[in-house]
Structure 1
Amino acid sequence: MEREKFSSRLGFILISAGCAIGLGNVWRFPYIVGKYGGAAFVLIYLAFLLVLGLPIVVMEFAVGRASKKSAALSFDLLEPKGSKWHLTKYIAMAGNYMLMMFYTTVAGWMLLYFFKMLRGDFNGLDSAGTAEEFSKMLVDPVIMTVFMVVIVLVCFTICAQGLVSGVERITKIMMLLLFLLMVVLAVHSVLLEGGAPGLEFYLKPDFGKMKEAGLGEAIFAAMGQSFFTLSIGIGALAIFGSYIGKEKRLTGEAISITLLDTSVAFMSGLIIFPACFAYGIEPTSGPSLIFITLPNVFNHMAGGQLWGALFFVFMTFAALSTVIAVFQNIISFATDLTGCSVKKAVFWNVIVIILLSMPCVLGFNVLSGIQPLGPGTTIQDLEDFIVSNNLLPIGSVLYLLFCTSRYGWGFKNFVNEANEGEGIAFPTWARVYVSYILPLIVLFILIEGYIG
């Protein structure tokens, strides 16, 4: 069966960026930028994005394009005879399923909050009131299950339409709307009265503040964020390499995707900091930023109900773009491994993903007694830790070694694939760096994740 191809380069770039652009960009990035000295931190982060994340993105694309398969079979096809690289597929497949075990739930929260904003559920509430709304949602397993199931059904329905008429068509529209919404929200936020100190805090480099927070800690945070923001190491991007032609070199494409990913993270800071400073509300990290701090900010704002609803549409799009991309990967695992039809793969995976998502939903209420990483932690924290701190870095090291080692696919094969077509070439002088230094840096991130 002929493998489907993207109908346009724009489709490929937007979908790959959609996979990388996730909720971490929005709820983690602004906070750690604020914590580690604003713009000074952004500069270091960008440098790490180029030297850490980018080469691995190129490698994932190259493995996908050379094999024309998902991670379920790409290593089997490219590995030297008799080697064991194909075992990497189990890490990749586990990573995609595990990511969806908690991501579908959080995407459901975004959609629910869009309706809550639209209905005016937060009107007139103070910060304690908005915090209580969030707590009420978490203790209600029924409402969380309903919205999680809606997300799963919507995203799999899109994937069932096929790569071009489903995934590419819908993701293109969604990503373009996402960028439009971001610009509108950012301009509105930047023009708020009293928002200027927030802008200064975010955009004016303050190396003193970075020193205060600890230079080593700031550098490690930049390293970690640059690494995790692109969802590399589990073949989530490799799949899109398998759907593109040989017209363009892969380094240029990877740069475009990295820049889009970064611009969304950066713009989210422009939305969040001026608004928080304008109303004297402390920007925090994690779920509390999105579900407690920001509804509180919108409450103070003229037309806040509308701006809040628009913000949660944007957040829902950011979540859906990742879910659709990973579901496309999961469907490809099934079709590559069993040769079944797309519709059949969708049918069975809908059931599997809903069942796998239930522990996360119930971890906040019925199963809240299970606190796997210590007091106050949830099943979701454990799932996130397994993916972010284990499967992503281990998978990335395996991709690096596979593409550089003579016992794997080998550097020459990798570079030939990456540099086919026109555009920016992958530099051959980087061989020593990607073969020896970069794997050690990623292993350092893995170990530091445990120490931290």
Structure 2
Amino acid sequence: MQQREKFSSRLGFIFLSAGCAIGLGNVWRFPYITGKYGGGAFVLIYLFFLIILGLPIMVMEFSVGRASQKSIGRSFHVLEPKGSKWHIHGYFGLAGNILLMMFYTTVGGWMLAYFFKMAAGEFQGLAPDAISNQFSALTNNTQEMILWMLIIVLLGFLVCSFGLQRGVERITKLMMASLFLIMLVLAVRAFTLPNAAKGLSFYLLPDFDKIREAGIANVIFAAMGQAFFTLSIGIGSLAIFGSYIGKEHRLTGEAVNVAVLDTSVALIAGLIIFPSCFAFGVNPGEGPGLIFVTLPNVFNSMPGGRLWGSLFFLFMSFAALSTVIAVFQNIMSCFMDLWDWSLRKAAIVNAVLISVLSLPCILGMTVWKNISILGFDIQGFEDFLVSNNLLPLGSLVYLLFCVTRYGWGWDNFIKEADSGAGIRFPRKLRYYFTFVLPVIVLFIFIQGYYSMLK
């Protein structure tokens, strides 16, 4: 068996774990739903659920990874009671990571494409309709999307092929530091725009009328869902990084650090987007329209907009690549743990595998755009499988594995989570973690199907 690498520093672990959690949803989804569901009031509800829902399961993932010293592919084999079948989830977890990359690489490619287009001045002087057509042209061009997807895949696996310390940790530290620096520069610029105060008040001041309009139940579920999905828990994407760290620090404190970084990116993204949109009288819409249509119009109207737009899409590319590199590292580790492959073989084979498996997402927007699965296009269906199935059910597996005697068990989990210095896991809430939290996770899973059917 090969010697398992370790992080060279605690900062590397925190940045890489945060890089996995920080994704494109932080940037376009979180600011939008915050504005939609009551601004500052929604943020408070979201933070409450992040603490009682997301953080405990993240600690459990980290604990399973550190105790087993394996990826999700083998961690349950090491820790499960003899004769039990918890290890079956390892294969679903690996499938979830691959499925996630089957559409995430395409969206990451869009970000990189827009960075180069913005830097080259392709949007300068264009009318709003022409900017909208630019995105339509990209998403209808099979060859161009394949090119950018392949660049994202090759960049990700190239970084991973240098190993944990020399590749993944070193590059992720640089990208995350650059990401925060670029965001702060953009936020300061947004604050200086005319009418920026209106955008900030819309974003941050509690608006209880909006909560009443949307319905308190809808607001709570939106906050609960965002707190749950933002951390990418359930498919071992975070557990892998627990396997690379020592026992100097308790895992609750490490999970708090990761969650703080993840939430900071989401909050700062709103500080950039809302003042910018209000300054130039554009609607902060949801999804791709916000990033690829609304914001290029904002940058076009802004003095020095080509520079600010380029910086924004560079930041978006870093957010996408940090997730891609983290998940690629998990996928490669699974192949190395399960079949004792070398680092180079795992990188080459998976680069080819992910490249091929990413094609249906792209073709589903062009030559296969008439294909519908349960009412979804191919990209939507892949996202549904991951977000509404593998993440919540995987989180339930980790949760039950750590709190019940039929799995790893509460005592073993607590011993691992509380090894080292720092914040202790709240043992007095054992009843909540054993009986209440699984029901909440199951509710999120059922609500996902209910929303789809409705």
TM-score class, shorter: over 0.9
1:182-218 Cα distance to aligned partner (Å, 9 max, x none): 0000110011112211011111111222111111101
CA distance in 2, matches of 1:319, 1:351: 20
Q: Give % identity.
A: 64
Aligned to 2:166: 165
1:395-442 Cα distance to aligned partner (Å, 9 max, x none): 000000000010000000000000000000001112111111111101
Which residue identity is paired with 2:301? Answer: H
Aligned to 1:221: 222
Which residue identity is paired with 1:159? Answer: C
Superposed displacement of residue 97, structure 1: 0.3
CA distance in 2, matches of 1:183, 1:97: 33
Pairing 1:387-402 to 2, within 5 Å after superposition = 387-402=386-401
CA distance in 1, matches of 2:195, 2:130: 24
CA distance in 2, matches of 1:28, 1:84: 37
CA distance in 1, matches of 2:25, 2:372: 22
Which residue identity is paired with 2:430? Answer: R
Aligned to 2:291: 290
1:212-257 Cα distance to aligned partner (Å, 9 max, x none): 1111101100000010000000000000000000000000000000
CA distance in 1, matches of 2:435, 2:99: 29
CA distance in 2, matches of 1:383, 1:436: 31
CA distance in 2, matches of 1:78, 1:423: 24
Aligned to 1:418: 417
Which residue identity is paired with 1:424? Answer: I
Aligned to 2:449: 450
Q: Secondary structure at the match of 1:28?
A: helix
Aligned to 1:133: 134
TM-score between the two structures when normalised by the length of structure 2: 0.98
Pairing 1:2-41 to 2, within 5 Å after superposition = 2-41=3-42
Superposed displacement of residue 372, structure 1: 2.0
CA distance in 2, matches of 1:37, 1:373: 32
CA distance in 2, matches of 1:294, 1:132: 14
Are 1:373 and 1:381, in contact at CA under 8 Å, matched by a contact in 2? Answer: no
Which residue identity is paired with 1:418? Answer: A
Pair 1:152 & 2:153 matched? yes
CA distance in 2, matches of 1:411, 1:127: 57
Aligned to 1:62: 63
Which residue identity is paired with 1:387? Answer: V
Superposed displacement of residue 120, structure 1: 1.3
Runs of 5+ in structure 1 lacking a partner?
none
Aligned to 2:351: 350
Superposed displacement of residue 270, structure 1: 0.3
Worse overlay, 428-437 or 220-229 = 428-437
Which residue identity is paired with 2:241? Answer: F
Which residue identity is paired with 1:446? Answer: F
Runs of 5+ in structure 2 lacking a partner?
none
Superposed displacement of residue 378, structure 1: 2.0
Which residue identity is paired with 1:199? Answer: L
Q: Secondary structure at the match of 1:121?
A: coil
Aligned to 1:230: 231
Pairing 1:126-275 to 2, within 5 Å after superposition = 126-275=127-276
Pair 1:379 & 2:383 matched? no
CA distance in 2, matches of 1:197, 1:371: 41
CA distance in 2, matches of 1:365, 1:208: 42
Aligned to 1:408: 407
CA distance in 1, matches of 2:51, 2:218: 20
CA distance in 1, matches of 2:191, 2:119: 23
CA distance in 1, matches of 2:391, 2:414: 23
CA distance in 1, matches of 2:197, 2:127: 24
CA distance in 2, matches of 1:321, 1:234: 17
Superposed displacement of residue 177, structure 1: 0.2
Aligned to 2:437: 438
Q: Secondary structure at the match of 1:284?
A: coil
Q: Secondary structure at the match of 2:195?
A: coil
Q: Secondary structure at the match of 2:341?
A: coil
CA distance in 2, matches of 1:129, 1:209: 33
1:100-153 Cα distance to aligned partner (Å, 9 max, x none): 000000000000000110111111223221111100001100000001001101
CA distance in 2, matches of 1:269, 1:256: 20
**Runs of 4+ more than 6 Å apart:** none
1:369-397 Cα distance to aligned partner (Å, 9 max, x none): 112242xx421001001100110000000
CA distance in 1, matches of 2:33, 2:92: 29
CA distance in 2, matches of 1:258, 1:126: 40
Which residue identity is paired with 1:139? Answer: N
Pair 1:99 & 2:100 matched? yes
CA distance in 2, matches of 1:381, 1:299: 31
CA distance in 2, matches of 1:136, 1:361: 13
Pair 1:46 & 2:33 matched? no
Superposed displacement of residue 26, structure 1: 0.4
Aligned residues: 450
CA distance in 2, matches of 1:317, 1:81: 43
CA distance in 1, matches of 2:335, 2:392: 24
CA distance in 2, matches of 1:439, 1:90: 22
CA distance in 1, matches of 2:293, 2:253: 39
CA distance in 2, matches of 1:127, 1:382: 30
Provide the aligned C-alpha RMSD in A.
0.7
1:256-290 Cα distance to aligned partner (Å, 9 max, x none): 00000000000000000000001110001111111
CA distance in 2, matches of 1:363, 1:121: 26
Which residue identity is paired with 1:419? Answer: D
Are 1:298 and 1:305, in contact at CA under 8 Å, matched by a contact in 2? Answer: yes
Aligned to 1:113: 114
Which residue identity is paired with 1:328? Answer: Q
